[in-house]
Amino acid sequence: MGVTEYAYGVCGVFCEQCASGNGRIKELAKELRRLTVGLIDYRPEFDEFDFDEFQKGLEWLDESYGCPTCLKREDYWCGVMRCEKAKELGNCLLCDEYPECPHTDYMRNRYPFVLDHHKRVKEVGLEQHFREERERAESGLLLHDIRKY
């Protein structure tokens, strides 16, 4: 399996563990829209609930929400994607400067586990690291469960 077959951030974050990056939010919003169509018509206890606004929110999540991952973006909002070394290497986890790089401060502060990822890549390589992270994603791990705010 090649690196391009995974959804990942160049910064060291594995996007398949993100409910936006893996498409799960969009998928669930679509399903919830389908399941709740017409619900207000036969549930009088929803009188105080703004069901129309709820449906609009689900429609927005279904039709417009989703992260294309940084590899598919053209408007780079973070310094990582403007870094020449990141472009050359293809992933910051391969860079020896990662633990101190100013471009990855945000990732290291919000996702401190990326430092462990950096060490793991040095041990097993990027491909194996991605396989391991995909297994963790498939077992249910989500970034919002392990990130810092």
pLDDT of residue 74: 65
Q: How far apart are CA 40 and CA 52, in angstroms?
A: 9
- Write the pLDDT tens digit of every residue in 14-56: 888 988 878 888 899 999 988 887 766 666 666 677 778 888 9
The closest of 101, 115, 100 to 146, measured between CA atoms, is 115
| Structure token pair of residue 144 | 């919002």
Confidence of residue 65 (pLDDT cuts 50, 70, 90): low
pLDDT of residue 83: 86
| Structure token pair of residue 107 | 């990732």
Instruction: Tell me, rounded to whole angstroms, the distance of Cα 100 from its chain centroid.
Output: 23
Average of per-residue pLDDT across 94-109: 92
pLDDT of residue 133: 94
Q: How far apart are CA 49 and CA 97, in angstroms?
A: 52
Query: What is the rounded average pLDDT for all residues in the chain?
Result: 84
Angle value at C-alpha 126, between 123 and 127, nearest 5 degrees: 115
The burial of 18, by beta-carbon neighbours within 10 Å (0-12 exposed, 13-18 middle, 19 or more buried), is given as buried
pLDDT of residue 94: 96
- Write the pLDDT tens digit of every residue in 117-139: 999 999 999 999 999 999 999 99
pLDDT of residue 8: 83
pLDDT of residue 119: 97
Q: What's this model's pTM, rounded to 2 decimal places? A: 0.76
| Structure token pair of residue 16 | 């398949």
pLDDT of residue 75: 63
pLDDT of residue 2: 63
73 pLDDT exceeds 80? no
Count the neighbouring beta carbons within 10 Å of the beta carbon of residue 113.
Answer: 17
Q: How far apart are CA 134 and CA 23, in angstroms?
A: 14
Tell me if 26 sits within 8 A of 113, measured CB to CB: no
